[in-house]
Chains A and B, each alone.
Chain A
Amino acid sequence: MAHDAGGLPNTFPKLLIRNADLYGARIAMRHKNLGIWQSWTWCETLELVRAYAAGLHRLGLKRGETMAIVGANRPKLYWSVMAAQMMGVIPVPVYADAVAEELCFVLAHAEVRFAAVEDQEQVDKILSVQARLPMLEQVIYDESRGLRDYDHTRLHAMESVIEEGRKALAEDPAVRVWLEDTIEAVKGSDPSIILYTSGTTGASKGVVLSHERSIAAAADTVTFDRLTEKDVALAYLPLAWVGDHYLNYVQGMVAGFCMACPESNETAMADLREIGPTFYFAPPRTLEALLTRVMIRMEDAAFLKRKLFHYFLGVARRYGEAILNKKPVPLYGRLMYWLGDLLVYGPLKNVLGFSRVRVAYTAGEAIGPDLFAFYRSIGLNFKQLYGQTEAFLYVTAQPDGEIHSDTVGPACPNVDIRIAEDGEVLFRSPGMFTGYFRADDKTAEVMTPDGFVKTGDAGFFDEKTGHLKIIDRAKDVGRLTDGILFAPKYIENKLKFFPNIREVVAFGDGRDFAGVMINIDLTAVGSWAERNNLAYGSYQELAGHPLVYDMVEKNVAEANRSLAQDAQMAGAQIKRFLILHKELDADDGELTRTQKVRRGFIAERYTPLIDALYDGSHEADISTEVTFEDGRKGVISARVKIRDMAPVPTAAALEKAA
């Protein structure tokens, strides 16, 4: 699998040395401290990391061992990663907000003897579980506040470890020789890091990545997005997450660009604005929160500004994406867009800290088409990617100019993707993991005999664009009785992007057609009702109102039209829908505490409604027990109406008809 990474060194320490040679005086890292941005060049970074490695060596850390790294995005913790890699030690980052139990699990599983941590909070967490960590010997901390009275026999300030190392390097030639030999001895195939997956499904697993594979993967994407040493990224997402390690740390090392660390978690937004990154990543919910904030602030703006804002957003909606995708746009459109950029988009991007963003990604969950279009229309090159820790992030990514809100793009360079019989996406990539740490059985479970990795996600290649579409978790995907693929989450997401609709449960596995139960969004529909003089006394009454049904019907028809675009999904269009008489609620066990629908439980609880969905009747009676906030129980009964939908002809059928 290892392929030539464009003449790059194949280990991180050698890469660091290369960067010091090539970009010596350029800034490698920034960190805002005491209100002022501090910076370190690649040369300084190399010197620091060498000293740090020597210091750790003096403390007894040996090649092949592991070292835990716990804390927020701070230069000293990134240096800890570099220093560990330099001496052939495998860094094991742990989420800063992990509770003591999780921390204990990872530290014990990775057999950690050394831990580099941020501050007293992390030290306290480790001390609270140290009885169960007999392996753990030394803890190194960055920030000394509150630690003065602690027993320092096994506790060291990072500063002094680096200082001791610096002295040793200067005075003792043997240490210098040791360091040079060690840097030489670290092989490309050695593990470079172990990233523990969050463990939403069972215990977390340690994904082992190697030096050469990590570098090879990043070399491809750096070329793909034309990242250079002149770029800047803000490292504000958890250090232990594959995204931060890949996008900022490894790409930064490969391209030689500057990674900036925010002053604190809470200041990340303000720091973003000060730094003005050129490369940016944000999950969809962050983008949504940002947009909401902008819209709320605009509502409070003066009349003229508000008018101007909405007018030019309209211009952006019409021409923005086309301009970004370098498609032909009439001169008038270009002129208006230019004016809009001057008056609205430019200042807006400046406020958000996006003025210099050249490449931006979003990933992690489905993104609403309107949300995605908003950011792209004001000229931000947001793209989607699909990835996994096991792949060392990238499996697919959208190239510039080929952007769709519902695909995740074609396979990345040198990545092979195959769709299994049951629709599961399999991949083989340059950066793929070498295995789960100390869990060969689990590694075997996800690997195919010919070296592909099972993602656990179901998807298919879109015929029009050739891009991959991820539709659902593979285990949730079913089939209709006529064998057509049925992916509940894909259908639910299509509907959930409408502001009127809050929650959707789709049924169809083993049935003749797809049917959905819908929860309206009381805030959105309620305010719509108010504006249209529609009187209602309760959620139940509003949900059953014929006009509300008419409105939701339009949304469902829209979703069907969108489904009809995909040859693979067209057969699973929604034929019947109903609007539930009550909101799905975690107190009633219908949602998980993280607000995810519990499909099985709902199917059982609302059996009469589901039966009615499929037996052709237009009304059904239901009475369900509900739990009130104070714990009392009551019964809600209702007569729920069911509507039929006319299927939208598929693209293929339309062609035939023409």
Chain B
Amino acid sequence: MRATGGPDIAVGDALLSVENVSLSFGGVKAVCDVSFDIRKGEIRAIIGPNGAGKTSMLNIINGFYHPRHGRITFKGVTRSRIKPYQAAQGGIARTFQNVALFRGMTALDNIMAGRTLKMHSNFFWQLLRYGPALNEEVAHRKRVEEIIDFLKIQDIRRTPVGRLPYGLQKRVELGRALAMEPELLLLDEPMAGMNLEEKEDMSRFILDVNDHFGTTIALIEHDMGVVMDISDRVVVLDHGIKIADGTPEEVKSDQAVIEAYLGVAH
């Protein structure tokens, strides 16, 4: 799937590192002393059986949950508690396991919503849609149109997303995350419930986003074929514990992974 020729994906310094993070809900230990890093420019997959703590991990990264122990360093800044909107301002965008779009709004408006944080003119100018507010909107619309073109969803620009098939809704959601021009994009099961063709399309878009915009991507995915094909490095969680970390080849041959996840009968 990866394009041939040229150097492999730029693998630079750690963009984000998670150190000894633990999280529990009451007596349930969702994440237990997990450490890993996400390097600039890579596609990093987080896999694991159901209930392994993958989504919790993403929620910790974008500030929705606060870890009980451990440190998270993003762009060299070690943070304590932050709010999700602060994470968004800092350059972390995400999509959700269950599509979370404004169903009554068009695809275009949904993606425009992703630009909210980047709009500066005040509420009243925007209400009047005049002067600087108009110029600003035009500039943002241009970026949004580029994303629409990138994701090839020109034909559904004006369609309310509630009427779209699931695969396209996922694509609109990716568009909205891209509209934030994030440095780190978190994708929570971008291919869940898709058919083979939609999966291939989505894989292509993820690779293209990584290649074209240089966005670092962390994704949770259940489809092993997809994960092994598109990711640079994989971290495996099981019952909140990290059991493996490495390239797809290393992970695939790791005995602990095979036992915990790939090879054991359910």
In the assembled complex, the Cα of A402 lies from the Cα of B26 at a distance in Å of: 84
Cβ of B155: which chain A residues have Cβ within 8 Å of it?
Answer: 263-264, 266-267, 270
Contacts of B161 in A (CB 8 A): none
Please, which residue of chain A has its CB at the minimum distance from the CB of B145? Answer: A34
Cβ of B148 within 8 Å of any chain A Cβ, yes or no, is: yes
User: Is B207 at the interface (CB under 8 A from chain A)?
Assistant: yes
Task: Categorize the interface residue count of chain B.
Answer: 20 to 34
CA A150 – CA B208 in complex, angstroms? 13
Stretch of A141-149, A165-173, A422-430, A577-585 at the chain-chain interface: A141-149
Whether B154 contacts A145 by the Cβ 8 Å rule is no
Interface 9-mer from B1-9, B42-50, B94-102, B247-255: B1-9
Using a CB-CB cutoff of 8 Å, which residues 142-163 of chain B contact chain A?
A: 142, 145-146, 148-150, 152, 154-155, 157
Q: Which of B6, B150, B157, B212 contacts A35 (CB 8 A)?
A: B157
Contact call B4/A264, Cβ cutoff below 8 A: no
Alpha-carbon separation in the docked complex, A511 to B186 (Å): 73
Q: Is B211 an interface residue (CB 8 A)?
A: yes
Task: Name A's interface SS.
Answer: loop
User: Which residues of B have CB within 8 Å of A33?
Assistant: 149
Question: A34 to chain B: which residues have CB within 8 Å?
Answer: 142, 145-146, 148-149
Contact of B212 among A148, A263, A270 (CB under 8 A): A148
Distance (whole angstroms) from the CB of A515 to the closest CB of chain B? 46
CA of A33 to CA of B142 in the docked complex: distance in angstroms? 11
Check if A151 is an interface residue, CB within 8 A of chain B.
yes
A145 touching B212, Cβ below 8 Å: yes
Chain B residue numbers with a CB within 8 Å of A270 are 155
Contact A146 B207 (CB under 8 A): yes
CB distance from A351 to the nearest CB of B (A): 15
- Whether B204 is near chain A, meaning CB under 8 Å from some CB there, is yes
Q: Decide if A267 touches B212 in the complex (CB within 8 Å).
A: no
Contacts of A148 in B (CB 8 A): 6, 211-212
The residue on B at minimum CB distance from A270 is B155
Complex CA distance for A253 and B240, rounded to whole angstroms: 68
A34-B146, A34-B149, A35-B145 known; A149+B3 contact, CB < 8 A: yes
* In contact, A146 and B3 (Cβ under 8 angstroms): yes
The reply to whether B211 and A267 form a contact with Cβ atoms under 8 Å apart is no
Between B141, B146, B154, B204, the greatest number of chain A beta carbons within 10 A of the residue's beta carbon is seen for: B154
Alpha-carbon distance A270/B157, docked complex (angstroms): 11
Chain A residues 133 to 176 lying within 8 A of chain B, measured CB to CB, are 145-151
Give Cα A11 to B6, complex, Å.
43
CB distance from B211 to the nearest CB of A (A): 6
Given A145-B208, A146-B207, A149-B211, decide whether A35 and B154 contact each other with a Cβ distance below 8 A. yes
The docked-state distance in angstroms from the alpha carbon of A148 to that of B141 is: 25
Q: How far is the CA of A393 from the CA of B208 in the complex (A)?
A: 41
**Shortest Cβ distance from residue A150 to the other chain B in the assembled complex, whole angstroms:** 5
Q: How far is the CB of B196 from chain A (nearest CB, A)?
A: 17
* Known contacts A34-B145, A34-B149, A264-B152; is-contact A146 B5 (Cβ 8 Å): no
B21-50: contact bitstring with A at CB < 8 Å (1 yes, 0 no)? Answer: 000000000000000000000000000000
**A227-282 residues at the B interface, CB under 8 angstroms:** 263-264, 266-267, 270
Residue among B3, B7, B142 with most chain A CB within 10 A: B3
CA distance A313 to B82 in the complex (A): 65
* A146→B208 contact, CB < 8 A: yes
- Min distance, Cβ A115 to any Cβ of chain B, angstroms: 18
Pick from A36, A151, A267: contact of B6, CB under 8 Å? A151
A34 to B150, CA, bound (A): 10
A145 to B152, CA, bound (A): 11
Smallest CB-CB separation from A147: which chain B residue? B3
Q: How close is B96's CB to chain A, nearest CB, in angstroms?
A: 26
- As a 0/1 sequence over residues 365 to 378 of chain A, the CB contacts with chain B under 8 angstroms (1 = contact) are 00000000000000
Task: Tell me whether A150 and B157 are in contact (CB under 8 A).
Answer: no
Q: Which residues of A contact B3 (CB under 8 A)?
A: 146-147, 149-150
Given the contacts A33-B149, A145-B212, A146-B212, A151 and B154 also touching, CB distance less than 8 Å: no
Decide: A264 and B6 in contact? CB cutoff 8 A. no
Contacts of A266 in B (CB 8 A): 154-155
Contacts of B146 in A (CB 8 A): 34
Give Cα distance in the complex from A151 to B6, angstroms.
Answer: 6
Complex Cα spacing A147 to B5, Å:
10
CB of B6 to closest CB in A, whole Å: 4
Q: How far is the CA of A109 from the CA of B7 in the complex (A)?
A: 35
Known A-B contacts A264-B154, A264-B155; the reply to A150 vs B145 at CB < 8 A is no
**Residue from B148, B149, B157, B211 within 8 A of A146 (CB atoms):** B211
Taken residue by residue from 186 to 219, chain A's Cβ proximity to chain B (1 for < 8 Å, 0 otherwise) reads as 0000000000000000000000000000000000
Which residue of A has the minimal Cβ distance to B212? A145
> Which of B101-129 touch A at CB < 8 Å?
none
Q: How far is the CA of A34 from the CA of B140 in the complex (A)?
A: 12
- Determine the distance from Cα of A264 to Cα of B207 in the docked complex, in whole angstroms: 22
Which residues from chain B contact A264 at a C-beta distance below 8 Å?
152, 154-155
Report the nearest A residue to B146, measured CB to CB: A34
A266 and B107 alpha carbons, distance in the complex (Å) = 15
Are B154 and A263 interface neighbours, CB within 8 A? yes
Complexed CA–CA distance, A575 and B84 (Å): 80
Q: How far, in whole Å, are A35 and B156 apart by their CA atoms in the complex?
A: 12
- Are B4 and A146 touching (Cβ within 8 A)? no
When distances are taken between beta carbons in the complex, the residues of chain A under 8 Å from B211 are 146, 148-149
Please indicate the chain A residues that have their CB under 8 angstroms from the CB of B208 in the complex: 145-146
**B168 CB, min distance to chain A CBs, angstroms:** 11
In the complex, which residues of chain B have a beta carbon less than 8 angstroms from the beta carbon of A149? 3-7, 211
Please name the residue on chain A nearest to B6 by beta carbon.
A149
Residues 44-66 (chain B) with a chain A CB within 8 angstroms: none
Given the complex, which residues of A lie within 8 Å of B141, measured CB to CB?
A: 35
Check B5–A151 contact: CB distance below 8 A.
yes
- Nearest to A267 among chain B residues (CB) is B155
B163 to chain A, nearest CB (A): 15
B204 to chain A, nearest CB (A): 7
With A and B bound together, what is the CA distance between A145 and B208 in angstroms? 7
Pick the contact of A151: B4, B145, B212 (CB < 8 A): B4
Compute how far the CA of A431 lies from the CA of B70 in the bound complex, rounded to whole angstroms: 78
Residues of B within 8 Å of A263, CB to CB, are: 154-155
Interchain CA distance A223-B81 in the complex, whole Å: 76
Quote the shortest CB–CB distance from A30 to chain B (angstroms).
15
Mark interface residues in A22-66 (1 if CB within 8 Å of B CB, else 0). Answer: 000000000001111000000000000000000000000000000
List, in ascending order, chain A residues with CB within 8 A of B142's CB: 34
**B:199-216 near A, CB below 8 Å:** 204, 207-208, 211-212
Give the docked Cα–Cα distance between A151 and B5 (Å). 5
The 5 closest A-B pairs by CB, nearest first: A266-B155, A149-B6, A151-B5, A34-B145, A149-B3
Name 14 extra pairs, CB < 8 A, besides A34-B149, A36-B145: A34-B146, A35-B154, A145-B150, A145-B208, A146-B211, A147-B3, A149-B4, A149-B5, A149-B7, A149-B211, A151-B6, A264-B152, A264-B154, A267-B154
The residues of A with any CB-CB pair to B shorter than 8 Å are 33-36, 145-151, 263-264, 266-267, 270
A–B Cβ pairs within 8 angstroms, 16 of them: A34-B146, A34-B149, A35-B157, A145-B150, A145-B208, A146-B211, A146-B212, A147-B3, A149-B4, A149-B5, A150-B3, A150-B4, A150-B6, A263-B155, A264-B152, A270-B155
* Interface, chain B (partner A; CB < 8 A): 3-7, 141-142, 145-146, 148-150, 152, 154-155, 157, 204, 207-208, 211-212
